[in-house]
Chain A
């Protein structure tokens, strides 16, 4: 392989790995929207909180981010459940703009609480093994990125399994499909909405833990990730779980390629162009099947 092609292959692999983490983040958004019909405009902010928790656990208790995943995800599961059950549930039947303002207020509170607690400076996690690369023939794979992607992929698969094979998962899918029907057969719909929000929050928590290994954390990341998550779920199909994962990989690769061929600062322009195209040509997303 020539050097250029090799470089290209490395960039694409790196894009796929980052994309899997993006995919998990978007999967969380997709679950929340697909079930509870809540447009979570605080999604990126939740992600940033998870990133800070990971950084704080590492700095304070020297806890490895791959172990920190479990407590952080558990906290987010409970937090997401409580948030939906107490604050958001009354808004489910209200108009879009009203819901949006609520989540926006929550997002503003989250971002600025982080700013007050941690300050505006970027933080990162320095671990020796994150800097190593694995040589796979002529290819070089970033060790930290590979592990992060594996965790993200594993979490996504676990969630797929949960929705397909467990009774609770099936019940949640029923609420998503037809909330009136679910109510008629005796399901406590609002409780399952809360559970779905909790699960979505747990997804974004795992994604945040993994993302804290890949980028520097600042409070300002929140809104950017919210938009990114929306781009991904729309490209993949809002409410579609496999679509979110595939959309994440697609955006990860396109960002990496845009960074290579044009300029890194223009990378999200392509994501938004892709979003506009997908909305116009296939508004249900590239993979339009339901949850």
Chain B
């Protein structure tokens, strides 16, 4: 990396760190959303971008993670810092069940993707009928005063939530960077490129694929916890919906799947795009339901057809930095 690029990244990091003191609440909420997608995109990227297992059911881990911590808080008053361990363990377990079933039975490619969707949808409908957790009517966390920071119970100002998600996103980036250069990272890439060859070289592909799924699931569960306490409500129709899974994967795919910067860049582009489109639609007076999503779809279509590897690889070549 040359010096100019490092400077740009450092400047961007600095802006992100000081953002709450210079931006208003609206900008802060947009930035929070961006970091949320950067985080979930990074988590998904480990499983799909690094290890090559295309998951379209990551809403499963968002939902289970969110519901586990929220239920502990709602029913027993146990705060999220204790509850998140339950979320991580549960999602790790669910991930390992999905992974073990799929990999033991030799399910791969499209079939694997459909299996991940099926598990998420199955769970969504199950939660719709689980009255202890509010069923389809939703689970609501008590909203207390927004101006007091209670970090222990994750109740507080938008700035507090912003720093929590910023820390999560930064940790995810550091973890991904470390994983990519670790033994696991090299094995994952070998499996992604050619599983049979990897196996022939003596890599226990089952074990390493499992590690990718469990890591990704456990990381995603924290995003679920964050989402539950940030929005103070959970609906199975929303958190388990396939649209959430799609939102999760859009960022890394547009930014550049399998890269470190891709998920962050993609999340930034998508958040700006969504926001820009909303503004544009409002300015032009086209506020008909669906216009925003339509423009979204057209731009997505353009990116997928014109930049099949995502934006970051192209940008990286221009900036002369390694991917």
Q: Which residues of A line the B interface, CB within 8 A?
A: 39, 87, 90, 94, 96-98, 100-102, 104-109, 111-116, 119-120, 219, 223, 227, 230-231, 234, 238, 263, 265-266, 268-269, 272-273, 275-276, 279-280, 283
Contacts and interface: CB of A to CB of B under 8 A. Distances in A.
Contacts of B118: 231, 272, 275-276, 279
Tell me which of B121, B257, B296 has the highest count of chain A C-beta atoms within 10 A of its own C-beta.
B121
Interface of B: 48, 54, 56, 101, 105-107, 109-111, 113-115, 117-119, 121-122, 125-126, 128-129, 136, 242-243, 246, 249, 253, 257, 288-291, 293-294, 296-298, 300-301, 304-305, 308
Secondary structure of the A contact surface, majority rule? helix
A106 B308 contact: no
A121 to B, nearest CB: 11
A268 B122 CA distance: 8
Given A108-B297, A279-B107, A283-B107, A272 B129 contact: no
27 contacts: A96-B109, A97-B249, A97-B257, A98-B308, A101-B253, A102-B301, A104-B300, A108-B294, A109-B294, A109-B301, A111-B290, A111-B293, A112-B290, A112-B294, A113-B294, A115-B293, A116-B288, A116-B290, A116-B294, A223-B242, A265-B129, A269-B125, A272-B121, A272-B122, A275-B114, A279-B105, A283-B105
**Ordered nearest first, which 5 A-B pairs have the shortest CB separation?**
A115-B290, A108-B297, A105-B301, A112-B290, A112-B294
Contacts of A39: 110
Contact of A101 (B110, B126, B129, B300): B300
Contacts of A112: 290-291, 293-294, 297
B83 to A, nearest CB: 27
Contacts of A106: 297, 301
A115 to B, nearest CB: 3
Given A97-B54, A102-B301, A265-B129, A230 B114 contact: yes
Contacts of A111: 290, 293
A101 B304 contact: yes
Contacts of B122: 269, 272-273, 276
Nearest to B129: A266
